[in-house]
Amino acid sequence: MDQMERIVFTNLETQSKYISQTFKEMGLCINSFFADREKIHDSIAKIRNFEKEANKLRRKNLEIIAQAVSIYRSDFFRLVMKMADVMGNQAGASVRLGNIKYVPKKDDSMIPKFQALISAFVEMGERLRDLMKILGDDLSKAPNYCNAIDEVEEKVDELYRDLHGHLYNRMDIPLRYIMQFLSVAKHIEEACDHCASVADSVRIILSTH
């Protein structure tokens, strides 16, 4: 592992910590929507700060990679940009959630389905953080961590489809609110898809080592 790779992996590990924290705050934000909406704004502020710090690291990594002379550095560009895709716009999704006017009852059957999706979402953030950490420690162990991300991604897809079908069958909720809930759930599903893409980018890097 050369110096450029070591620096990039270190930055990616720090960035993954921000992403994991953002996923957790997104989960808290959704739980607050169902329980205590006043706390949503606190989560949004934290998410925006995490996004800001993660973007600083993305720019730093791109500058470092651009200075490398190896012709194989396109694999690192790909990984850095895939990590940026993961961060996406969690704050924007949280703001959309906070703007939903529909207030579900505490025993609404959609709530445990959302909570299951949130749980898997938070787990994905943790698995991504684990993968970025192992890249700087022991590349030979990385494939197992990539596989763990794929497993969580499959779980998220299943939970998303279940929630999607549930909401479309809800005749008691106005369609505009159903679409807003689905937009938030879709954001979670897409963020996890991006995590799986990060794992694939790591596999490409591993193939060159």
Residue in the block written with tokens 């993305």: 58
pLDDT of res. 71: 47
Q: Is the dihedral of CA 44, 191, 20, 121 positive or negative?
A: positive
pLDDT of res. 122: 95
Neighbour count for residue 100 (Cβ, 10 Å): 16
Pairwise CA distance, residues 46 & 36, whole Å: 17
Residue 182's domain comprises: 3-207
**Number of domains present in the structure of the chain:** 1
pLDDT of res. 76: 84
| Low-confidence stretches of the chain (pLDDT beneath 50) | 69, 71
pLDDT of res. 179: 93
pLDDT of res. 68: 63
Pairwise CA distance, residues 4 & 174, whole Å: 53
Can you read off the two tokens belonging to residue 125? 């953030």
CATH of residue 76: 1.20.58.220
Percent of the chain with pLDDT over 70: 96
All residues at 6 or more sequence positions from 111 whose CB lies less than 8 Å from its CB, including other chains? 34, 104
pLDDT of res. 123: 97
